[in-house]
Amino acid sequence: MSVLGSRLPMTGPVDHSGSSPGSLMASLQRPRSDEPTRIAVVADPHVSTREEGTSKLFEHTEQHLENAVADINERDVDYTLCVGDITKDGEPWNFEAADEILADLDSPFRSVPGNHDVPKERDDHENLPMEEFAARYTPDGEGFPFHERVGGVDVVGLNSSGGKEWLTDSHDGLVTDEQLEWLDEHLPEFDNPLIAVHHNLPTMSDQLVEHRDNNEPEMAIPPVMQNPEAFTDTLAENDVALMVTGHLHMPSATVEQGVRELMTPTTCSFPQSYMLLEITSEGTEARLIPVTDHEGMMRGHRERSGDSTTGKGLTDMAAIRLAQFPLVDER
């Protein structure tokens, strides 16, 4: 079923009888698992209880996340993983609203922080401390990096977004030296690592530059990963098969030094969706699952494409990616 053909309602309870299988986004040779493992990946919900409008459709963010949770519960998911930006801008009341929705999940929920979840100098409110974020959203509150075995997969969560003492003046990403040292020490111990981080590999950001140069000269490039070379080298040296990210609010794929990145679409703006990973002995299938109906998807497209030149460019990129599904077919 195409994304625009989905029929999840915008309001009220969701009838999941005969749920759509979603659209095949990628078919990968790795990771593989003799123990079939199903992981839902949610990106950039940007939950907001006091704002309306913008391309993020703030007044619909709670309903979109509720629809995602209800759909995930119908799919026998082993684990739900968020790759950041749970909230509009790290507001404690928005975390509370998100937590109320996430409490209905039948599967364990874990998250890495996004650049909008952590303190920034321009914030006019108190943010949820990173220690509290870790306590709520990492295994046993261990913080970052974290590792958790899920079925046949080793999930590794990283913080690329910052904290109260780093990246406060920027929405760029950075995997710190301490996290790189942890990866060097622990990745060799893991049979089947799946890396979760908010920001993207350079080759993913390069896709935006290419689109800007060819189609939308006034388009701005969203914040990127600082000093990515050491991070990419570490993943490649340890033969990491898959990294899942968010940040740019669209489905896309890239590969760098043999490391495959799948970027997860956001639940808040076009194309409002989450990603479902099916990991078996034959490889991994990634499917895009919409969280709104046809009317909602049209609204998301209209609001995002009309928001700004950058919004139009990102919407056009998302539409192009959807038309090219599957983005990767290795099997």
Q: What's the confidence (pLDDT) of residue 20?
A: 73
Q: In the numeric block, which tokens belong to residue 78?
A: 């082993």
Closest CA to 288 of 27, 12, 73: 27
Domain residue extents for the chain? 19-329
Residue 82 and residue 111 in contact, taking contact as beta carbons nearer than 8 Å: yes
* Rounded CA separation 71/65 (Å): 10
Please name the residue ranges forming H helices in the chain: 61-73, 92-102, 130-137, 177-186, 202-215, 228-237, 294-305, 309-323
Interval 141-156: pLDDT, tens: 999 999 999 999 999 9
User: Is the four-CA dihedral 122, 101, 263, 138 of positive or negative sign?
Assistant: positive
Interval 192-212: pLDDT, tens: 999 999 999 999 999 999 999
Interval 67-108: pLDDT, tens: 999 999 999 999 999 999 999 999 999 999 999 999 999 999
Q: Mean pLDDT of all residues in the chain?
A: 93
Predicted TM-score of the model (pTM): 0.94
Our measurement of the distance from residue 145's CA atom to the centroid of its chain's CA atoms, rounded to an integer in Å, reads: 17
**Beta strand residue intervals within the chain, DSSP E:** 23-28, 37-42, 79-82, 109-111, 146-150, 153-157, 193-196, 242-245, 252-256, 259-263, 273-280, 283-290, 328-329
The hierarchical CATH code for the domain 19-329 is 3.60.21.10
